[in-house]
Structure 1
Amino acid sequence: MKLLVDTHAFLWLILDDPSLSNTARREIRSRDNEVWLSAASGWEIAIKYGLGKLPLPEEPDRYVPRMRRRSRIESLPIGEAEVCQIHRLPPIHRDPFDRLLVAQANCHGMVIVTDDPVVSRYPVQTLW
């Protein structure tokens, strides 16, 4: 299975937060799955860090890649084909990061690992 980890799920994984479901943790750690983190999640983390809303042990440009690699998660760049698909999504909400993750998951045949009920309303597979 190809998994795209939502930002909050990635943070809960690397912080060993019990908010991450056992199913999500197991599937992310399974060597049978390809696990990806969107560059959009790194962008979202950097914005929240810069605004003082997300404390991290070090700056995100070092912390995110290091923790992603440590967790055996690949980086998914943001591509033109994906952003050009966003207009096809139903207007469920306006969060640009969530909408981009949905477009990326659809373009690459991925399942989004998320606890966000709004993302689950989009035409995309989710896992929690």
Structure 2
Amino acid sequence: MFDTHSLIWYTHDESKLTKRGLELIDKARQSIAYVSAISFWEIALKVKNSQIDIGMNVAEYKSRIRKLGFIEILSVTGDDYIDSVQLDFSHKDPVDRVLIIQAQNRNLKLLTKDQVIKKFYEKCVW
């Protein structure tokens, strides 16, 4: 499963990903990889606040991701939101909390550089 930044780097600047991360993505191309729907909310906020430029609107970006053919967009369930508040509150980023819970509840590896996330979920890859 992609963390938001790893998805953006995969689609815009693969050089920011590690060899191990690229190998995981290559392996996923043979089956399936996931990105959380909440990542598109996070991207939309960052675009709106001029924190990132993805070169297109977020709806087009989401369509581009779908057209890759191996990335499935995971909907966030009510249980995901409820479970996310059970995490230690020293991690306050609500998007990260949801990503951690989605990966954990589905037993997925999470492709992330985020050191804080790595403290909360042992199946992180970077």
TM over 0.5, shorter chain: yes
Q: Which of residues 93, 96, 121 in structure 2 aligns to 1:95? A: 93
> Structure 2 CA distance, aligned partners of 1:32 and 1:66?
18
The answer as to 2:68 corresponding to 1:85 is: no
Question: Which runs of structure 2 are paired with 1:19-38 in the superposition (5 Å)?
Answer: 19-30=16-27, 31-38=29-36
Report sequence identity in percent. 28
1:22-53 CA-to-partner distances (Å, cap 9, x unmatched) read: 11111112145531000011110001111111
Question: Which runs of structure 2 are paired with 1:40-119 in the superposition (5 Å)?
Answer: 40-70=38-68, 72-119=70-117
Deviation at residue 18 of structure 1 after TM alignment: 1.1
> Are the counterparts in 2 of residues 92 and 121 from structure 1 also a CA contact under 8 Å?
no
| Richer in helix (by share) | 2
State the partner residue of 2:6.
Answer: 9
Runs of 4+ residues deviating >2 angstroms: 31-34
In the alignment, structure 2 segments of 5+ residues that lack a partner are none
Deviation at residue 55 of structure 1 after TM alignment: 1.0
Deviation at residue 64 of structure 1 after TM alignment: 2.5
In the alignment, structure 1 segments of 5+ residues that lack a partner are none
> Structure 2 CA distance, aligned partners of 1:116 and 1:89?
16
